Every structure is written in C-alpha cells, then in structure tokens.
Amino acid sequence: MGFFKASAGLRGMKRFGVIAKVLIKHGLGDVVEKIVGRKDKEGEPTKIKGAALKPGVLSPRRIRLVLEELGPSFVKLGQLMSTRADIFPAEYVEELRKLQDRVPPIPFPDIQKVIEEELKRPSEEIFAELDTAAFAAASVAQVHHATLPGGEKVAVKVIRPGIMKKIREDIRLMYYLADKIEKSFDIGRILAPSNLVKEFERTIFKEIDMLIEAGSIEKFAYNFRDSDEVCIPEVYWDYTTKSILVMERIDGIKMDRVDELKAHGIDPKEIARIGLRSFSRQLMEFGFFHADPHPGNTIVMYDGRVGLVDFGITGYLDEEMMRQIANIFLGYAEHDYDLLLDAFLAAGLLDEERMDLDSFLIDLKDVSESFYGRSLQSISVRDVYDQIIYLALKYHIQLPRNLLLLLKTFVQTEALGKILESDESLLEFAKPYARKLIKRGYDANKVFKNIGREARYVGKYAKVMPRFVHDILKQVSKGKQRVEIWHEGFQQFDTKLEKGLNRLTVGLVLSASILAAALVLNSAQKVLEFEVSFLGLGAISLTSILGVTGYVVTTVLGVWLIIAIYRSGKL
C-alpha cells in the first residue's frame, strides 16, 4: 500500500515539475517561487533560473497560454473560469473564452481498443463501417462517423483512453496549487481558487460520462417530441456505455455558415427565429436547457430543421426559478421595475436587509433603459453581460451556477442571432412564453398539484414526528439530553397580576372593615363607657371609638385605592 502511495506521490511531483516548467517558460517563475517557498541559507527566497517576470506578468494572454499548454484538464478549468464573470475581471473572461477545446486526434487503434473493450466484441462485428479518421477531436473525447449493421448512419463519441486517471491526478494538483495560491497571494484569498476547483471537480466527471449525456439527449428528445423544426438525435443504447456514446448522425450545415445556408435556399433569419423559440421553450416550458449552443453544436439540416448535438453541458431550473425568470423577462419587456425587483427577491438573489434596494433599483434602470426597443443587431451582447456582472459585483450578489450557465447561454443565443443577421428582440420574442408560464402557475390543475405536494410533505413530517419525540424523550430519560424551556415577556405580567391581587385584597379588607365598623357603631352593647365634656358629647364608649376609627381608616384607604386605580388608567 505504501509503495503505491509513494508511486502516486512521485507521479504528482513529476506532473508538478512539468507545470513549474510551463509557468517559468511563460514568465511566471516568481509565482513558482512563492508556491514552492524555497529559501537560501540567508533566508531569502531562492531564485529559480528563468524566473524573472516581465511587466504585465499576470496578463490574461499569459494565463490562457499556460492553460493551453498544460493540457485538457486545465483547458476545461479555463473554460469554467470564462463563465465566472462574477469572480474574474472582464478582460480575463474575454481572453479565457478563446481557449480552444480542439486537440490533435489520437491514433485510431487506441480508439478501436476502447470500443472493443467496452462493447466486448471486435469493431467489425459492431459496425458495418467505421471511419478511421476522426470527424472531430476535443480534449476529452473524439468523434468518428460509422454505419450500423442495419444501415443507420451514426456518430460515435469515444472518451480518450486514460483521461479519467489524468484528470484525477490534475485535480489533486489543482487543489494543491489553489491552497498554495490562497496562502501566498492576497488575490488568492479574495478569489478562493479552491472553490473553483471544487466546482470543476463536480462538473468535469459528469461531462465525460457518456451515460449522463445520453440521458440528457433522451430528455431533449421527449421535450421536443411535438416539434417539426427542432431535431434531436436518437441514442442507440445497445452501443452506449460510460465511455462510448453512439447516436444518430445529423448531417447539415453549421449554423454560422450564412452564405452556405443561403445557397441551399435556407433563410438565416428563420433559423434564428427557430433558435429563439427553442431557447424560450427550454427556459420557460421545460426548465432544462442546452448550455453550450455555439455554432459547432448547432446544425442546420438541409430540410430547414435545426439539429442540436453535444449535450455535455446542460442546466436545470426548478419551477419557482422558471416563474421568476419569466417575471424578469416580462419586467424587462414592459419596463416594469417593481415586477423585476419582486422577481429578484423571490429568486433569492437580493438580500433586502443587507442591500440598499433603492440604489439597486436606480442602477438597474440606468443599465436597462439603454437596451430597450433595440434589435439583436444593435445590441452589444458583451455590454449587456458586462452590465449584469457589474451589478452583481457592486452589490455582492451571489449568482448560482445554473443562473451563470443561463447567462452564458443567453449571450451565446443572441450571438448566434447576430451571426444569422436577425433583427428580432429576444425580450419581445420570449414575452408570450413568459406569459404562458405565469398563467400555467395559476391553472387549477397546477394549484391542486402544488397543494398535493405540500400535503405530502406535511404527511411525511406528521408520520415521523412521533418517532422523533419518542427518541428525544428517551434520550432525556437516560440523562443523555437536557431539555431547557425559556420564557420571556412574562415579567411585567407577573408584576401586574400581583398588583391586581393586592388591590383586590385591600378592597376586601376595606369592605370587611366598613361592615365591622357599622356593626360596632350600631351595637347595643357598650364597652367601657365614660363621661366626656368635649363638644357636649356627654358619654362615649370604647366601641363607638373603634367604630369611628374603622370608618376613618377605611375611608382613607378607599380614597387611596380609587386614586391609584385612576392613575393607572385602568378605571
């Protein structure tokens, strides 16, 4: 076990040496020095040969060149970085978008070996024909055209052999480098590259799992089953595995070849409208969208239909987020900024306790008004995107990954529209789909469905609650848990209750005293009667003195009680 661990560490060190050489080659040697942290005998950092940096060392172009030279994993990481305009400055994002996921194809015998190992039989038995030349080659997979024994023309996408192992090794190095960068550079602590590596790790293995992509194709085929203008390729499951995807081949013209489209009698503007309708349905009807609609992934068939291919990157939206995005579209299209603000709040994008919503609304109006009523040809897609990211950065808005994917898809969709010379406004085009989605949310069937779902949640909680209470009480009885009950706000209640009882008691005593005094004065029995010459009273008894005294005391206390109650405002 120790031998294999040491071997893995040795391979990692070798790969790190390659990375260090590439960094030094592109003038990033000082970065290597900080990461390695080596020092000479006097405690000064050891200078690495060729490590001197030129002005503009962290220029976007240098970073792109480094990532390209480091290979597939780092190219994919750079492509992910290009979607995070909420983290990286605009000039870096723009440069990283130039990363090309095209590499020389690997030799056909290596691809043939993967096919035969996965499908457990010779390729000659699997395919009637299999082109040895790659139709397309990317960093993690390449595509070959083939024909099945039944005559079906297919595209065979094969994961490059050994790529999974290499990606895992590179991810371990990415974590190491991210940790060093965060500890060695102030900018590293701000950007938190380790979080980016986590996101990359979560997405890259899904992207290179052909079974996941095949499932995405099936979902799209089901969603567009009633469409006569969008074509989704059929998946041949008998030939599909984790490393191989065999699907129907879609022949046609790449969407950006406008002159070729016109030569075949196809109207580019109509193709743009099909694309906008398709995007609107994905966004506001299905909640599942193709997140990489560039020209290479969008084929215009010779009969005028639009075929979507390469479903490695997709995005999801739940029902609530779909409704809020529909409200956002309607708010923009109708200049209704209150609706926009409500939609942003409902989507959880804004924190009304931490943010100045009035300032945000003013900035939102300033950003948005300049784009109203303009066609795709007159809008700079980069300006729209940059303005949205500017607001996100200024107000510290955390954008979820799927929303960032949606923004990128929005940009790519409009870019395709401009290539196709479309003058359609995406906001206006999407408006009827947004209204339909909002209306759907209030349909009786939808309401009852939501009520039923909430009722199931309540039923589930009611079912498990007795068991939870039993477990808690059992733990308490064994002394493993302690239950503390705190109450607040009853202090004044106690004081007021005590005062009320005291007044009631005084009132009862006063009543009893008055009755006693009256009985004493009216009593025929005289105790200790003696002569008094004062005020001509003649004779007076002790009982009379006690009765009068009782009357005086009760009268004084009664007046005091009335005054106290009157002052309390409770009379």
Alpha-carbon distance 400 to 410, whole Å?
Answer: 15
pLDDT tens, position by position, 319-376: 888 888 788 777 776 777 788 788 878 777 777 777 888 888 888 887 776 655 555 4
Of 252, 227, 223, which Cα lies nearest the Cα of 314? 223
User: Between vectors from CA 458 to CA 455 and to CA 460, what angle results, nearest 5°?
Assistant: 110
DSSP 463-520: HHHHHHHHHHHHHHHTTS--------S-HHHHHHHHHHHHHHHHHHHHHHHHHHHHHH
For 75, residues 6+ apart whose C-beta sits below 8 A from its C-beta are: 67, 68, 99, 100, 101, 139
Alpha-carbon distance 562 to 571, whole Å?
Answer: 8
Of 108, 162, 101, which Cα lies nearest the Cα of 134? 108
Could you identify the residue written with the tokens 């009357």?
Answer: 551
Helix or strand run (H / E) with residue 67: helix 60-70
Q: Do 53 and 30 form a contact (C-beta atoms < 8 A)?
A: yes
Alpha-carbon distance 76 to 68, whole Å?
Answer: 9
Of 438, 444, 458, which Cα lies nearest the Cα of 319? 438
The predicted pLDDT at position 566 comes to 63
SS (H, E, C) 257-322: CHHHHHHCCCCHHHHHHHHHHHHHHHHHHHCEEECCCCHHHEEECCCCCEEECCCCCEEECCHHHH
Alpha-carbon distance 11 to 461, whole Å?
Answer: 51
Residue 471 one-letter amino acid: D
pLDDT tens, position by position, 156-179: 999 999 888 888 888 888 888 888
Tokens in use for 416? 């395709």
Active site residue 292: yes
Query: In 10 A of CB 32, how many CB atoms?
Result: 19
For 288, residues 6+ apart whose C-beta sits below 8 A from its C-beta are: 219, 220, 223, 282, 314, 315, 316, 317
- The sign of the dihedral angle between the CA atoms of 384, 386, 391, 397 is positive
Taking the mean position of all CA atoms in its chain, how far away is CA 248? 34
pTM above 0.75, yes or no: no
The predicted pLDDT at position 444 comes to 41
The predicted pLDDT at position 232 comes to 95
Of 552, 557, 546, which Cα lies nearest the Cα of 507? 557
Catalytic residue among 251, 292, 351, 471: 292
Tokens in use for 96? 């990283």
For 440, residues 6+ apart whose C-beta sits below 8 A from its C-beta are: 446
For 218, residues 6+ apart whose C-beta sits below 8 A from its C-beta are: 235
Query: In 10 A of CB 565, how many CB atoms?
Result: 13
Q: Label residue 483 exposed, middle or buried (CB < 10 Å: 0-12, 13-18, 19+).
A: exposed
The residues of the chain scoring below 50 in pLDDT are 1-10, 39-56, 376, 443-449, 451-453, 456-457
Phi-psi region of 201 (alpha: psi -120 to 50; beta: other; left: phi over 0): alpha
User: Between vectors from CA 541 to CA 535 and to CA 546, what angle results, nearest 5°?
Assistant: 100
Alpha-carbon distance 568 to 496, whole Å?
Answer: 11
Query: In 10 A of CB 290, how many CB atoms?
Result: 24
Tokens in use for 557? 């206390």
- The sign of the dihedral angle between the CA atoms of 452, 454, 455, 456 is positive
Tokens in use for 401? 């990954």
Helix axes 319-333, 426-441, angle to 10 degrees: 130
Of 202, 209, 166, 163, which Cα lies nearest the Cα of 312? 209
Q: Do 120 and 244 form a contact (C-beta atoms < 8 A)?
A: no
Tokens in use for 257? 């070849």
Strands (E), 153-278: 153-159, 230-231, 244-248, 253-254
The widest CA-to-CA distance across the chain, in whole angstroms, is 146
The predicted pLDDT at position 552 comes to 74
Alpha-carbon distance 205 to 290, whole Å?
Answer: 18
Phi-psi region of 315 (alpha: psi -120 to 50; beta: other; left: phi over 0): beta
